Chain A
Amino acid sequence: MRTQDEAAIVACIPSLRRYARGLVSDATRADDLVQDTLERAWSRFGMWQRRGDMRAWMFGIMHNRFIDGVRAGRSRPEDSVGDELPEIPQRATQADRIEVRDLDRVLQRLPPEQRETLLLVAVEQMSYLEAAAIMGVPVGTVMSRLARARERLRAELQGGAPAAQPAVTLRQVK
């Protein structure tokens, strides 16, 4: 492996850690995900073959590891309960300030695919096309996940109109 390729992988680590922290919240578990991703990257480096950029490749690996973990954990009740339930009693009423604690809590309650999408776009500041490639879905799916995630956050954190049904979040503007 060439030194600059190794350096390119290592250069991804800080943003991978940021992404992982948003995905799973707990710092130790987040770094478990990063470690898992790196080990996978080192072992599969030959498959990269310099197609496309390293960052997308690394985030794609993390996406796969994360989703695999989500699927493996779905049998555990604590991971699936409440995913789709709006948290009415603690809904914020003021729009201007979002508390980190609330943000983390609401984010962790989003369906994993929506959480990924929002983080890739909002925090990693990826284009919708990049996010779509990383998650292996059409851009349209990225847009609908993004819309749902944002409406959910608005409803729970910013006092926005509650999104009673997910489909409503994509309704046409009247």
Chain B
Amino acid sequence: MDPSSHLKPIPGGGGGDGPVTEADLHAFADGQLAETRRAQIELFLRDRPAERQRVADWRAQNEALRQWLDPVVSEPLPLRLPLSSAAHGWHRGPWRAMAAGVLIAVASAGSAWWLRGAVDDGAGPLASWVAPSSSAADGSGVAGANTLRGFAYRAAVAHAVYSPDARRPVEVSAADEQALVTWLTKRMGTAVKPPDLRGVGYALIGGRLLPGDKGPVAQFMFDGAKGQRLTLYVTREDAGRETAFRFGQDGPVNVFYWVDKDFGYALSAGADRAELLRVAQAVYGQLERR
């Protein structure tokens, strides 16, 4: 097609500042004409009902498209989007391969957060990877190696505060799990769902919303057969700060934590490292079945 055909004048559209073209009609429909030209086109359309109808139809299309798509602008941003150059650097850095290779990614399907990875039965890659890195946290005496910071520290504190509460450990109980999921998803701005840990002896008690350092954080609480409690803390973190899978301690609370992309996860319990690992393995295995 001749790309300049839109500039061809429409017969009978003369007068004023030159003949009326097809392009003028589009520009009229889109509000992209200067005022004098706009007035000319309006005059031109006055006794041309067919052209007037076309322009009206185009405007209706514009309106329908906007009504359909404008709500996207006010949707919460998916957490997987890299929101800074730092986040980008993390994605491209050496950690990327490690994180992907070892275990975790946030599923892009957006249905829920899930842990993904090549984890086999028993002492899989997780255990083999974690063991060397956490040797210092096993009480070998290296100062600072197991000191909790950032969200891992907050997770430990939250665990210490809420898990001993016999009567009100959570805001929304597992009996209303769907409501809990809906609520946390809305407040977190992304799909958040508790893992099912019954297979390893932990039942969901419920969850709550907590303030993190920059925004809302979700905490899920589970309890074991002997009443021992375990919490999973899910937060949005600046990627790049923590990247490895680590253990730390805060008083009696042991924490297994990691950051994947923009998410921080912390699994806290009074249980020992081996028990935390066992639970973590179950979570990964659960993803395999999903």
Residues of A within 8 A of B81 (CB): 13, 31, 34-35, 38
Closest Cβ of chain B to A39, distance in Å, is 6
Contact between A173 and B10 (Cβ–Cβ < 8 Å)?
yes
Known contacts being A119-B65, A160-B57, A173-B51, is A39 close to B6, with CB within 8 Å?
no
* Cα A107 to Cα B61 with chains together (Å): 11
Q: A147 and B64: CB pair below 8 A?
A: no
Tell me the smallest distance from the CB of B15 to a CB of chain A, in Å.
Answer: 15
CB of B3, distance to nearest CB on chain A (Å): 4
What's the Cα separation between A79 and B77 when bound, in Å?
Answer: 28
Q: What is the bound-complex CA distance between A146 and B65, given in angstroms?
A: 14
Q: Does A67 contact B (CB under 8 A)?
A: no
CB nearest neighbor in B for A98: B64
The answer to whether B69 touches A21, judged by C-beta atoms less than 8 angstroms apart, is yes
B contacts with A: majority SS = helix
In B1-55, which residues have CB < 8 Å from any A CB?
1, 3-11, 13, 22-23, 26-27, 30, 32, 48, 51, 54
A154 touches B66 (CB 8 A): no
Query: Among the listed A121, A141, A154, which residue makes an inter-chain contact with B30, where contact means beta carbons less than 8 Å apart?
Result: A121
- Using A22-B69, A31-B78, A150-B58 as known contacts, say yes or no to A45 and B85 having CB atoms under 8 A apart: yes
- Is A147 a contact partner of B22 (Cβ separation < 8 A)? yes
Once the chains bind, are B66 and A122 in contact (CB under 8 Å)? yes
Whether the pair A95, B57 counts as a contact (CB closer than 8 A) is yes
Residues of B within 8 A of A174 (CB): 11
Q: Tell me if A8 counts as interface (CB < 8 A to partner B).
A: no
Chain B contributes a number of interface residues (CB within 8 A of A) equal to: 52
Of all chain A residues, the one with the shortest Cβ separation from B50 is: A173
| Interface size band for A | 35 or more
The answer to whether B78 and A170 touch across the interface, beta carbons within 8 angstroms, is no
Within 8 A of A (CB), among B67-102: 67-70, 72-75, 77-78, 80-85, 87-89, 91-92
Contact of B26 among A31, A35, A98, A143 (CB under 8 A): A143
Q: Is B147 an interface residue (CB 8 A)?
A: no
Q: Which residues of B contact A10 (CB under 8 A)?
A: 83-84
Docked-complex contact A150 and B3, CB < 8 angstroms:
no
A22 touching B7 by the CB < 8 A rule?
Answer: no
- Extra A-B contacts (4), CB below 8 Å, given A42-B85, A128-B32: A22-B69, A28-B108, A122-B65, A172-B9
- Where the two chains meet, the residues of A that have a C-beta atom closer than 8 Å to any C-beta of B are 1, 6, 10, 13-15, 17-18, 21-22, 27-28, 31-32, 34-35, 38-39, 42-43, 45, 95-96, 98, 100, 103-104, 107, 118-119, 121-123, 125, 127-128, 138, 140-141, 143-144, 146-147, 150, 153-154, 157-158, 160, 166-167, 170, 172-174
- A-B pairs, 3 with minimum CB distance: A42-B88, A140-B3, A143-B6
A-B contact pairs, 5 of them (CB 8 A): A38-B81, A39-B91, A42-B84, A121-B30, A170-B5
